[in-house]
Amino acid sequence: MGLLRVMMPPKLQLLALLAFAVAMFFLENQIQKLEESRGKLERAIARHEVREIEQRHTQDGLRERDSTAAASDGEDDVVIIYNRVPKTASTSFTNIAYDLCGKNHYHVLHINTTKNNPVMSIQDQVRFVKNVTEWREMKPAFYHGHVSFLDFTKFGVKRKPIYINVIRDPIERLVSYYYFLRFGDDYRPGLRRRKQGDKKTFDECVSAGGSDCAPEKLWLQIPFFCGHYSECWNVGSQWALEQAKYNLVNEYMLVGVTEELEDFVMMLEAALPRFFRGATELYKTGKKSHLRKTSEKKPPTKESIAKLQQSAIWKMENEFYEFALEQFQFVRAHAVREKDGELYLLAQNFFYEKIYPKN
């Protein structure tokens, strides 16, 4: 700058200083504007981040609310189907559901098929599936009826119903049904039954080779679990037996046995309290309005039992019964403990840990 002062005239030196001052002012002004712009940008970024956080919190809140509502809706969207096998204490158990439906706020619907036909037509299958899945006014619902198993996945539904059932020793079931057709029960004693007036005992029927006590009449529990396939109803079909076993373990939440009905009720109350809260106490101490007994039933002799047990049909039905009994006892062993002759449900036996990521 000193050299410029020597070489430049005073006027030029003044102009140079003014130009330098203007340039510095301009630069400072630009720097200030940049600083202001940077401040605005930082504030905009901060506001954006705040909005993102707020949106996340809002979305989390909505998701939490939706999940809570979904959980509530999920409970109210449950449908149970009890495709009851005749003479397995099915009316006794169903009456428990009727006794509890008002208090536990669900609907009970009886599936009344023409002539108690357990096989539905294809059009009725479609109607039934549609009713069960879309009839929201009736949910939560407990459907029951003498209908064989129906696979809902064949009809493209997203949520299948919960299947439950009860089975019985096959000969005891047949004997009960034989006398029921002749003498009825204490549930509706005045109702005239199809075989009323026939005084022949079960033993006399077996001895005479009668059709109502023939081994073919044992073939019922297997096809009820096998379902709506033609082979299920071919008496003595090995395929039907295997399909019934498959459905029992894969499609049914719980299958009890008549001989241990109280344990079945207890486990249902533990697993599905939305429906069965209070069922065990009702079964034990209620007015027994749910219990039903066949009239005039006489136990068969050892000879009659031995004759039926010689048939291949009894062996298959008994194999299925034993399979179901073993599965039920396995489930029970992992659900209850016995103390002083009483059964007690086990408390929750799992918990969660090592949950990541940490918040």
What sign for the dihedral angle of Cα 324, 329, 332, 333? negative
Note whether residue 12 is domain-resident. no
State the total domains in the chain: 1
In a domain, 339, yes or no: yes
Q: Would you place residue 4 in the very low, low, confident or very high pLDDT band (cuts 50, 70, 90)?
A: very low
CA distance 314 to 320: 10
Q: Rounded to the nearest 5°, which phi and psi values hold at 339?
A: -145, 125
The single residue of 57, 110, 144, 228 carrying the catalytic annotation is 144
Instruction: Identify residue 340 by its one-letter amino acid code.
Output: D
146 catalytic residue (yes or no): yes
Q: How confident is the model at residue 249 (pLDDT cuts 50, 70, 90)?
A: very high
Q: Would residue 63 count as lying in a domain?
A: no
Give the integer Cα–Cα distance in Å for 257 and 247: 16
Distances (CA, A) of 279 to 55, 63, 77, 172, 289: 46, 35, 21, 25, 13
In angstroms, the CA 170 to CA 322 distance is: 10
CATH of the domain at 118: 3.40.50.300
Q: Which two tokens stand for residue 156?
A: 């493209």
pLDDT above 90: residue 276: yes
Domain assignment present for residue 303? The answer is yes
- Could you say which of 48, 146, 228, 334 is catalytic? 146
- Nearest CA among 161, 164, 151 for reference residue 90: 164
Query: What would the mean pLDDT of 92-96 be, rounded to a whole number?
Result: 94
pTM of structure: 0.77
310-323 average pLDDT score = 98
Assess if residue 194 is contained within a domain: yes
pLDDT over 60 at 224, yes or no? yes
The answer to whether residue 57 is catalytic is no
| Strand runs labelled E in 115-199 | 141-144, 162-167
Lowest model confidence (mean pLDDT) among 91-95, 247-251, 309-313, 340-344: 340-344
Is there a domain that residue 35 lies in?
Answer: no
**DSSP E strands, the chain:** 79-82, 107-110, 141-144, 162-167, 252-257, 336-339, 342-345
Instruction: Report the alpha-carbon distance of residue 153 to residue 118 in Å, rounded.
Output: 19
Classify residue 30: in a domain, yes or no.
no
Highest mean pLDDT among 42-46, 180-184, 321-325: 321-325
230 lies in some domain = yes
User: Which domain range does residue 111 map to?
Assistant: 78-345
